[in-house]
RNA sequence: GUGGGUGUAGCUCAACUGGUUAGAGCACCAGAUUGUGGAUCUGGGGGUUGGGAGUUCAAGUCUCCUCACUCACCCCA
């Protein structure tokens, strides 16, 4: 093979594309149901937008971005996530303000340079929502409910909502200090990754998977115990509203989100069957990001769903894939005159909204019928040169096998 | 970036400790039915065994390199 596909990318072939359309449609329907409007931002942005918002210390920024210089030497980056771009677009177009609520959703490809594995690609797709303008905990509950309803709609089961609060700039320093203090005494006995994390991002130690480190994690301080009164109150209200909505969740004080901008509520929707990369949805509140990116201080919350992961859950479990017929009419012809006439009828049928096709490979009549069967055509119009003279031909119902004589002029109305 | 596993036909897989012309099922094409699909039968096309080098009388099989895929770590959707 001369040209192969770049690593970490995937062709979505026709059979699977159908499923993608179903999932995307489900997303759009649910988002609309909750009064979210679509926003489409560019695939690339100025690099600074991502380094500022995601955080220069995060892995995404340090080693996972597709960054390149354009012809004028400007540094651009293929978006590794959408939130920063949506915030940028919102500020730039005056969509975001404290006086009004902006509820936006997006759907599209993201890019991160990582080693591919199950549930992780270099180009992957996310659907997500962002709400700007309110710190009301009901919105935290609403977006979580929205994601749960969406998963229900596409038929996914056995998902678990993990919920935590990572605090705000007021309470985070104290918690961070407590973490450092706790692990400092054990760090010499912990894995190399944890040693690095102690300095760089101490909160990440909490979800270390190393068996040897587990015993030190058990007694580690939980962020929930260090929340300031405002954050604590917010978290309690989110929990309360989720209860009212009947949304099941698990408080997970080990849940740490990887992007710097999160405040207060952090949540993930987990599918155990997925393997190591098992989060199908991740999100949370980011009350300071709009201000950090140059807008007026505006609270916000959002989430992103990993569409590849959703798709793989659906295909793994053979969930509802409607497989209706492809076309309504197949025109089978024999001889030059019939082929000419058939091609004209084909065009007429399509013009009137009847999906139709015919043979373009010069195949035998038998092979044409076979092909029509494969295409799941409802009807086949069989015409040879005799029929052209007669002005009528046999219309065969492929389900029953019955064939009746139909004039050319009557064909379309018969199929309508 | 690190570690493990796997690369044979379009797909799923065979080929005993290296041994003759690398096989099968499915799919595809054609015929049986000079102008009618799904079933059956018969025949057919398909491969540089991922690529390169080496060992050997002989390599799909052993060694090394390389590439790709895959799973996991880091991290994330």
CA distance A327 to A100: 47
Asked if strand B contacts A280 at the CB level, meaning under 7 A, the answer is yes
Minimum-distance nucleotide, CA of A193 to C1': B74
Domain boundary among A261, A283, A316: A316
**pLDDT value at residue A326:** 79
Q: Both A383 and A276 in a single domain?
A: no
Q: Is A269 helix (H, G, I), strand (E, B) or coil?
A: strand
Is ipTM strictly over 0.90?
A: no
**Which two three-digit tokens encode residue A338?**
């019939």
A9 annotated among ligand-binding-site residues: no
Asked if strand B contacts A60 at the CB level, meaning under 7 A, the answer is yes
Range of the domain at A288: 14-171+227-316
**Which two three-digit tokens encode residue A152?**
């229900």
**pLDDT value at residue A146:** 97
Q: Both A18 and A63 in a single domain?
A: yes
* H or E segment to which residue A183 belongs: helix A172-184
**pLDDT value at residue A323:** 45
| Domain contains A108 | yes
Q: Both A336 and A312 in a single domain?
A: no
Asked if strand B contacts A362 at the CB level, meaning under 7 A, the answer is no
The label of the residue with tokens 């609520």 reads A101
Minimum-distance nucleotide, CA of A396 to C1': B36
**pLDDT value at residue A318:** 54
CA distance A35 to A43: 25
Low-confidence ranges of chain A (pLDDT < 50): 319-324
The CATH number of whichever domain residue A42 belongs to comes to 3.30.930.10
The label of the residue with tokens 């340079």 reads A113
Minimum-distance nucleotide, CA of A361 to C1': B29
Q: Both A298 and A337 in a single domain?
A: no
Distance in Å from B16's C1' to A7's CA comes to: 38
Residues A45-75 pLDDT 10s:
999 999 999 988 888 888 899 999 999 999 9
- DSSP-derived letter for residue A170 is T
**pLDDT value at residue A182:** 86
**pLDDT value at residue A110:** 96
A112 annotated among ligand-binding-site residues: yes
Overall domain count for chain A: 2
A226 annotated among ligand-binding-site residues: no
Residues A376-416 pLDDT 10s:
999 999 999 999 999 999 999 999 999 999 999 999 999 98
Q: Both A149 and A242 in a single domain?
A: yes
């Amino acid at each position: 093979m001369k040209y192969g596909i770049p690593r970490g990318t995937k062709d979505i072939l026709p059979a699977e594309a159908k499923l993608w359309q179903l999932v995307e449609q489900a997303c759009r329907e649910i988002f609309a149901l909750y009064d979210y409007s679509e926003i489409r931002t560019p695939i690339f942005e100025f690099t600074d937008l991502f380094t500022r918002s995601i955080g220069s210390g995060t892995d995404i920024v340090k080693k996972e971005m597709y960054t390149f210089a354009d012809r004028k030497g400007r540094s651009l980056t293929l978006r590794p996530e959408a939130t920063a771009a949506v915030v940028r677009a919102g500020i730039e177009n005056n969509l975001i303000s404290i006086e009004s609520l902006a509820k936006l959703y997006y759907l599209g490809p993201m890019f991160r340079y990582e080693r591919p594995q199950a549930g992780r690609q270099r180009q992957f797709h996310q659907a997500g929502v962002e709400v700007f303008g309110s710190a009301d905990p009901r919105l935290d509950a609403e977006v979580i409910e929205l994601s749960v309803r969406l998963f229900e709609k596409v038929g996914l089961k056995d998902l678990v909502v993990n919920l935590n609060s990572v605090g705000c700039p007021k309470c985070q320093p104290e918690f961070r200090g407590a973490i450092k203090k706790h692990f400092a005494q054990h760090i010499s006995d912990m894995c190399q990754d944890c040693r690095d994390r102690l300095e760089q991002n101490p909160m990440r130690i909490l979800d270390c998977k190393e068996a040897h480190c587990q015993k030190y994690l058990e007694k580690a301080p939980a962020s929930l115990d260090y929340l300031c009164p405002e954050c604590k109150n917010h978290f309690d209200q989110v929990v309360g509203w989720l209860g009212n909505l009947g949304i099941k969740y698990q408080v997970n004080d080990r849940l740490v989100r990887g992007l710097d901008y999160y405040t207060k509520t952090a949540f993930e929707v987990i599918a155990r069957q997925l393997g190591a990369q098992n989060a199908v949805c991740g999100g949370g509140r980011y009350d300071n990001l709009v201000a950090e990116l140059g807008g007026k201080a505006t609270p916000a919350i959002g989430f992103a769903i990993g569409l590849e992961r959703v798709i793989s859950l659906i295909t793994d479990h053979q969930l509802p894939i409607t497989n209706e017929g492809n076309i309504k009419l197949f025109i089978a012809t024999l001889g030059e005159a019939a082929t000419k006439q058939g091609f004209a009828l084909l065009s007429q049928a399509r013009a009137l909204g009847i999906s139709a096709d015919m043979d373009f490979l010069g195949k035998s009549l038998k092979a044409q019928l076979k092909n029509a069967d494969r295409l799941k055509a409802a009807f086949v119009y069989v015409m040879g040169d005799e029929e052209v003279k007669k002005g009528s031909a046999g219309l065969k119902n492929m389900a029953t096998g019955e064939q009746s004589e139909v004039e050319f002029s009557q064909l379309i109305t018969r199929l309508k």
